[in-house]
Amino acid sequence: MRVLITGGSSGIGLHTARGIARQGHDVVLLVRSAERGAQAADRIESKAGSRPEVVVADLAEQAQIRRVVPEIGTIDVLINNAGLLLTKQRMTPDGFEETFAVNHLAPFLLTTLLLERGAIGARVVTVASIAHTGAWMNLEDPMYEWEKFSGWNAYCQSKLANILFAFELARRLQGTSITSNALHPGFVRSGFARNNGILATAAMLAATPFTISEKRGAKTSIHVATSPDVEGVSGRYFAASREARASAQAGDPDLARGLWELSERLVSASRPASAVPPGRST
């Protein structure tokens, strides 16, 4: 099995890649930095005995995602793992708020482009968060163009978007062999969000007693991506390697459809309403 993992050079993504490689699967890391990607490949090879492929693209730039898709080739599983949390509003080269762009639009674009090429064989796994329960999806202003920006609110909204995307994708892939699920990895003790200044770093450190290790945090991603128990299961949300209940808003099909249509417009994709490749029924 060939598995593509975004954000696989550190944190949960690195441990997910290592765990999947140890199972004997071929791993492809999609990373922003070639240097960090090579270092991650070294670490995985030293532990798993096989060296993953490394593909480099900045997920904040849609042109880079489009450029790299043909390089990826055919995969069995896509794990949309990469994500960020910002305390200050930043804009991408495409003019989008960066949290929404990297956490939602990037996996949306990457996944749909790969599907259009018939390049995904079995599963799409999207790493979300229990933080989605504190969010409200505002399709009129998803990137805080009018409302005052809050880094935490933007992050929670992006995690809600992850689940809405995963559920809507599952609906659109009905009748095919490809499944789509979302998951919460747990409150993981990592460097996530520690590049946002002293206060954010202090907050993360204060929360350390309530966190789990990166290795443990990767377990649910590995389970949903590779376990025979999840074969054929689609449109579900997992936590602690078990099916869990997402928020009521995450299960709103009209909201999911609206977000999908908005996302299509934002990535300027000239594709049919369904991301299912030609020849596959919906």
CATH value at residue 221: 3.40.50.720
Please give the DSSP secondary-structure letter assigned to residue 149: P
Show the domain range for 63.
2-266
Asked if residue 58 is part of any domain, the answer here is yes
Strand bridging mode 53-56 / 75-80: unpaired
Higher pLDDT, 186 or 20: 20
Q: What is the pLDDT of residue 212?
A: 53
Distance CA(13)–CA(107), nearest Å, equals 14
Give the tens place of pLDDT for each residue, 49-76: 999 999 999 999 999 999 999 999 999 9
Q: What is the pLDDT of residue 273?
A: 41
Asked if residue 51 is part of any domain, the answer here is yes
Give the tens place of pLDDT for each residue, 88-136: 999 999 999 999 999 999 999 999 999 999 999 999 999 999 999 999 9
Q: Which two tokens stand for residue 211?
A: 């966190």
- At residue 200, what are phi and psi to the nearest 5 degrees? -65, -40
Distance CA(187)–CA(212), nearest Å, equals 6
- At residue 157, what are phi and psi to the nearest 5 degrees? -65, -40
The residues that are catalytic are 155
The residue-averaged pLDDT of 27-44 equals 98
Asked if residue 271 is part of any domain, the answer here is no
pTM: 0.88
Q: What is the pLDDT of residue 216?
A: 85
Q: What is the pLDDT of residue 215?
A: 82
| Close Cβ partners of 31 (under 8 Å, ≥ 6 residues apart) | 7, 8, 9, 37, 40, 54, 55, 56
Q: What is the pLDDT of residue 14?
A: 97
Contact 74, 2 (CB under 8 A): yes
The residue-averaged pLDDT of 260-270 equals 85
Asked if residue 282 is part of any domain, the answer here is no
Handedness of CA 203, 106, 76, 71 (dihedral sign): negative
Q: Is the pLDDT of residue 210 over 50?
A: no
Asked if residue 157 is part of any domain, the answer here is yes
Q: Identify the residue whose tokens are 């934002």.
A: 266
Asked if residue 208 is part of any domain, the answer here is yes
Asked if residue 276 is part of any domain, the answer here is no
Asked if residue 275 is part of any domain, the answer here is no
Total domain count, the chain: 1
Burial class (CB in 10 A: 0-12, 13-18, 19+), 113: buried
